[in-house]
Structure 1
Amino acid sequence: AGAALSADEKPAQRKPFVIPDSPPGEVDPGLAERFANLAQKTREGVSVNQYIRKAKSFRNPNILEKLVAFFEVRDSGTNYPPSIYDPNEITRDDHYDRLEARRREWEERQARKHGERVNFTSGGTLELPASAAPSAKPPRKSKWDSSGSADPAAKRQAQ
């Protein structure tokens, strides 16, 4: 039962959700025992998420790429049916960088069509607040600041 709407279907036309009947046959005893153990550990306060966070093998920074490759997960996948959205049909021209370049080109063409020139005018000057104004004290000089002649030989002769 697909919960996704088709392109021509409206939300009011959707059928109400009904829990389906149990599948035929018996539950696999190994799977039932595994589920019961997990439910018991959850009741005891054991968190699967905490276990994963503390596991040394999950601290690998490349784990996401490895898991995606191992389980063959499509990073651009979707739950929508292909009739609504198919990520494989996106062309390179539909990517953000190409769309942005085409938008800029269009804006330039629009600006050239009108032949208007943009004139920039000064908005005036602002007075700086006292805290940003230069201080009245001259900056301190260090021993590396030159205090006279730039010629070291002239300094030596003066001594």
Structure 2
Amino acid sequence: MWKRKIEEKTDLNFMIQNKKAFRNPSIYEKLILHLNIDELGTNFPPELYDGHLFGKESYYDELSKSQRAEMDKREKAAEAKKKMGDAKIKDALNTLQQRKSKWDQASSGPGVGVNPALAKVIPAFGSLKKK
């Protein structure tokens, strides 16, 4: 290819850009396979930069899979925590309803058996009568 470029003064990029057959967007993968191009390759020496240094887990498709799995796990944990919180709230409400204070219990003191319509009510708030 180099000799052809020098001797015939042909430019591979110019040829590819001008041919209608190469205007197909899916031709990229075919060219890579046909010309055995290493997409991760570089012109730098391996001591300076190695394109094959990164594993499969470093690329976006693998990263998105692991990120999606992590998000699903977190969502499940949040749902489980919410369900546990709901159960704890229900238990707390049940215990509050079961416990009775001294005000909830029936008293046996004065006023028991008195008709509630005739019972005298003393307001909790209000002004005291001055003498």
TM interval, short-chain normalised:
0.3 to 0.5
- Relative to the length of structure 1, the TM-score reads 0.31
Higher RCO (C-alpha 8 Å, min separation 6): 1
Q: Which of 1 and 2 has greater Rg?
A: 2
